[in-house]
Amino acid sequence: MLVSVRDTQRAKVYDAEQLVRGMFDRADEHGSRTVELYGSHLTLPIERRFASVASVQSYADKVLALNWVRAQWDRAGTAVRVRSRAGTAAAHYEAADAVLAVPLHTGGRAWALRELVVLHELAHHLESAPGSVAPHGPEFCARYLELVDGVIGPEAALVLRATMLGCGVRLG
């Protein structure tokens, strides 16, 4: 019998991510990558954007093939399949079949076809024992932050970590 673990941090994690995605969006819109975070000035790295399921699939395959990712997480050796998702509300990960589902362009927006969202879903994929801990608990947050740090860059991870803490997220 599979016991479901309560996901008490989900809303807080999503709130933090929305704030961080907004920072990256504003940096792109204004052409200035410098942001102020708790009195410090940081230069945000470029966050990759994707045009299609195929480009997300290629990116996910490359992230899972990174030597340090394979050394850190056994599940990196398990391929993930990317598919389009109906609806626009959320991307999600289906552990049973190792599927990452992302909404595509809707109404001129492609909010989920971006690196932060794909890394979030890959952090779910890399969980060693799916269902044994809360989906957005401290263990997930640690994996997600490590991926963001190693793939996008330490500045992006710092912004995400500080924002998560500011939203009351417990980190592992």
Distance (Å, whole) CA 4 – CA 123: 19
Q: How many residues make up the chain in this entry?
A: 172
H helix runs in 31-153, sequence order: 53-65, 67-72, 115-125, 138-151
**pLDDT reading at 3 higher than 50:** no
pLDDT computed for residue 106 by the predictor: 60
H helix runs in 31-114, sequence order: 53-65, 67-72
Least confident of 27-41, 47-61, 105-119: 105-119
| 101-116 per-position pLDDT tens digit | 998 866 556 778 999 9
Least confident of 65-69, 74-78, 102-106, 115-119: 102-106
**pLDDT reading at 117 higher than 80:** yes
Could you tell me the pTM of the whole model?
0.92
Mean pLDDT of 123-132: 86
CB 76 within 8 A of CB 69: yes
CB 100 within 8 A of CB 106: no
Q: Which helix (H) or strand (E) holds 155?
A: helix 154-166
